[in-house]
Amino acid sequence: MTNSSPLTARDVASDAAAVVVEVRTVTAGYLPGVNILNSCSLTARDGELIGIIGPNGAGKSTLLKAIFGQVKVRDGEIRLRGENITNLKANRLVSKGVGFVPQTNNVFPTLTIRENLEMGMFQKPKGLAERLEFVTEIFPELGKRLSQRAGSLSGGERQMVAMSRALMMGPHVLLLDEPSAGLSPVRQDEAFLRVKEINRAGVTTIMVEQNARRCLQICDRGYVLDQGRDAYTGTGRGLLNDPKVIGLYLGTLGQD
């Protein structure tokens, strides 16, 4: 693993912040004997926005699913604020403060927006009004359309509902799998702005993203995965301008 750039004052402050999620040399996969992640490591500190990029098949989404208990971890461990959460089931992880937004099938299409958001709090129904106010401040469009069925929404609007539902439990960390996938360029920009707003609201965020340039532009730190390993890590801007990362993974993406 290569650290891509020198530390700034903000980076030093980030290093001193409490570790929220720590992935320690995790090996994991879907089928027996077939590993997608190979001794992969990642650290996310309090208030950070972490971006994960890399080629197709590198294990980016698998890493999020391993954190969220949807892929069997065979070696290594995953810790949440120091507690070992390796291979815990999703419902227990949600109760401990982990939110997850998958790339597809991430809303209940026959339910209204409000009902989708209420589903996000089924483990802790008290405080619904307060959480609704919180998420509709970030997504004001949803607050005006709570009675609309989610199945009638556009892809970008469904993504907002999915992120809002994951925020209803007040998670310590939010895992986002390809939040801009399938969206128009305008909607992609909106999605990245929303991710940044969620992070500014105090939610540590770990985002997998194919739009590598935009991801690295907004994240505090990034990880480049390759063949299930964290090949490069550094600040977002450092990775965006690192000649090795550009040459191996981004092509001319880092050039204006």
Q: Would you list the domain boundaries of the chain?
A: 2-249
Class (C level, CATH) for 2-249: alpha beta
Per-residue confidence (pLDDT) for residue 34, from 0 to 100: 93
For 190-201, write each residue's pLDDT tens digit: 999 999 999 999
For 99-112, write each residue's pLDDT tens digit: 999 988 899 999 99
Average pLDDT (213-220) is: 95
CA distance 96 to 99: 9
User: If you average pLDDT over every residue of the chain, what do you get?
Assistant: 90
- Extended beta strands in the chain, E state: 2-3, 19-29, 37-45, 49-53, 72-80, 83-84, 98-101, 173-177, 204-208, 221-226, 229-235
- Taking a C-beta distance cutoff of 8 angstroms, is the pair 169, 123 a contact? yes
Average pLDDT (237-250) is: 91
> Does the pTM exceed 0.75?
yes
